[in-house]
Chain A
Amino acid sequence: MAVIVEGRVWKFGDNINTDLIYPNTAFRTPEREQHRLTFSSNRPGWVDLVREGDLIVGGKNFGMGSGRPSGKQLSECGIRAVVAETLNGLCLRNCVVAGLPATQCLGVGDLFEEGDIGRFNYTTGLITNVTRGRSLQGEALAPLLLETIEAGGVLPMLVREGYVEAVAFVAAST
């Protein structure tokens, strides 16, 4: 089964880092509210505009920075796929383990205007602007990564295989 995602595109520039995606205040915010902090420093109000099923087109070094759960955070906002000019390797990991497909494709920034409809094929690497009828070849994901994404990420697999508890631990804050 191919991993293909189609949706409305949000565009971001170069050097979108993990502090913008998951600000440090999120560490001490209840899980269900953490995603509300996404891009609050560089694009305030975005979390109210993004819709379930939207896609992100990023610039160079997308997701650079820390091990914060950037893939999970973007998923919680409704984002279903990411393509960037270049993608930080840790961000790629954090997307894949959260079941969010992500890859890189040079020239993808010029392929889209914000609001265009994109179709991203992670099995072949073909990145298509459906609105404008043009495509670029990006990097396909390896089978192991595609399988992890199709399984919904690493956590469901660890739970199913009996390695971790299904419900997240909550450290008391009062």
Chain B
Amino acid sequence: MAAMTMIEKILARAAGKSVVRPGDIVVCKPDIVVGLDLPISTEGAWHRPKKVFDPEKVVLVFDHSIPAPTIQDASGMIEGRRFAREFGLKHFFDVGQHGICHVILAENGLARPGELLVCADSHTCASGALNCAGRGAGLMDTLQAMTKGVIWYPVSPSVRYEFEGTLPMHVSGKDVFFHIAQEFGGHSNTSVEFGGPGLLNLSMSDRRTIATMCAEISAEFALFEYDAITAQYLEGRLDRPAQPVAPDAGADYAEVRRIDLSSLEPYVVMPDAVPNNAKRVSDFHDTVPIQQAFIGSCANGKIEDLRIAADVVRGKKVAPGVRFIVTPGSQAVYLQAIQEGIVETLIKAGAVVTNSTCGACFGGHMGVMAAGENCITASTRNFKGRMGSAEAKIYMGSPATVAASALAGVITDPRRVMH
């Protein structure tokens, strides 16, 4: 048997083949297909399915615009409910059970190790943290997967990242990703694989942030090796035994790169693009006043991100003129944040804790930016116009950097706030 990378193994199994190779186009049977509210409410994006390939494997999550900020979104969700009811979908996350789909899928054990997950959202690579293959599909691709039960993928070469060491204090998974994006730029038509001896020092929260953010370097799939930390996270969540994949010895990589976690520091990403657009915070000498600081999204709406935010602002006050918006990634995260006292700490500091939704990250609602404003965000992307006006500037940082900046009113090194 020829040696394969992790993504080659998952695609081979899903395509019913013994071996796949970079350059192949494979037609796969998805293990799970996920629909969202936004493609239903957007005109021209939803053609009502006449059948679904398997109601146990088609999931519907309301996440982008909930509760509905417009009549159009409200009408779209009526259609979503009709669809879920008509086809008897086993997994439907309506308002009340909701959250950002990638968070919901992880929490509910629907992103399963070794499986293939299809969803039209570009951050579907988030599932890679759990050793589950996912990458953003097109809206019509997803409709095809949902109804016909097939989807094609090009098999791409993989770059392997080998982690070593342990992250310093106040440096997190977001900074690991920024380091990769800064040093190695775009990864178009390449999958990435994460492993190495330092993996055991990276929490599941950090892994989920890194995997999610790989959409921003245009990676195809982003897969973490399965280990004890993965098993621990998934305990009690899966409805069937995990079938993780590991890379074969001798698997062929486009490149193997080593990352010494202990050498990293916080980064700030400049507006408009992510690859090759970051500065180490110690090299960032600009004074950038901010009007908004945001922590949320599929990348940073986890309980661990909210804990960091609370730790930074505890007993302090958000700077005058700054809106500090924190959006939990799911109802479960929100509830836990209440139980741990995080919500109280944040509100006492002057933050706004919103309902869990994609919200401000995609400029949909709950924190839209006006022209001339600056935002520092721990969310997924910083494109011109992403969070509202094309004349707003979006800088990116880790949750610690964002929270520290909210206190200072200017973009700030979290290590200067936390001693």
Contact = CB atoms under 8 A, between A and B. Distances in A.
Q: Chain A at the B interface: mostly helix, strand, loop or mixed?
A: loop
A40 to B, nearest CB: 8
Interface residues of A, number: 59
A31 interface: yes
B186 A168 contact: no
B363 interface: yes
A172 B72 contact: yes
Interface in B1-59: 25, 27, 38, 40-51
A165 B147 CA distance: 11
Contacts of B188: 60-61, 86-89, 104
B166 interface: no
Contacts of A53: none
B139 to A, nearest CB: 6
A153 B140 contact: yes
A159 B75 contact: no
Given A171-B40, A174-B71, 19 more contacts: A24-B363, A24-B364, A29-B43, A31-B43, A41-B384, A64-B218, A67-B121, A86-B218, A89-B135, A93-B137, A97-B144, A142-B25, A142-B154, A144-B152, A155-B47, A162-B50, A163-B144, A164-B47, A164-B49
A15 interface: yes
Given A94-B138, A164-B49, A144 B25 contact: yes
Given A24-B363, A144-B152, A66 B136 contact: yes
Interface string A55-70: 0000011001111010
Contacts of A136: none
A71 B141 CA distance: 13
A67 B41 contact: no
A30 B48 CA distance: 18
Contact of B138 (A61, A67, A173): A67
Nearest to A96: B138
Contacts of B384: 17, 19-20, 41-42
B341 to A, nearest CB: 34
Given A159-B47, A165-B48, A15 B154 contact: no
Going nearest first, the 8 A-B pairs with the smallest beta carbon separation are A31-B44, A41-B390, A171-B75, A163-B147, A171-B76, A164-B47, A19-B383, A173-B72
5 contacts: A19-B385, A97-B138, A98-B140, A158-B47, A162-B50
Contacts of A145: 25, 152
A57 to B, nearest CB: 16
A172 B71 contact: yes
B156 interface: yes
A23 interface: yes
- Among A14, A31, A42, A163, which residue has the most Cβ atoms of chain B within 10 A? A163
Nearest to A63: B218
B273 interface: yes
Contacts of B164: none
Interface string A85-119: 01111100110011000001000000000000000
A168 B46 contact: yes
Interface of B: 25, 27, 38, 40-51, 70-73, 75-76, 79, 120-122, 135-141, 143-144, 147-148, 152, 154, 156, 186, 188-189, 215-216, 218, 220, 272-273, 275, 362-364, 381, 383-386, 390
A65 B381 contact: yes
Contact of A17 (B144, B148, B383): B383
A158 B140 contact: yes
A34 interface: yes
Nearest to A155: B140
Nearest to A148: B152
Given A31-B44, A61-B218, A86-B186, A171 B50 contact: no
Interface in A62-83: 64-67, 69, 71-72
A60 to B, nearest CB: 6
A104 to B, nearest CB: 7
Nearest to A95: B138
A15 B40 CA distance: 28
Contacts of B46: 168-169
A32 B105 CA distance: 34
A69 B45 contact: yes
Contacts of A23: 385, 390
Given A19-B384, A67-B138, A93-B137, A170 B144 contact: no
B186 A64 contact: yes
Interface in A20-58: 20, 23-24, 26-31, 34, 40-42
Contacts of B73: 171
Contacts of A155: 47, 140, 143
A153 B143 CA distance: 13
A105 B384 CA distance: 26
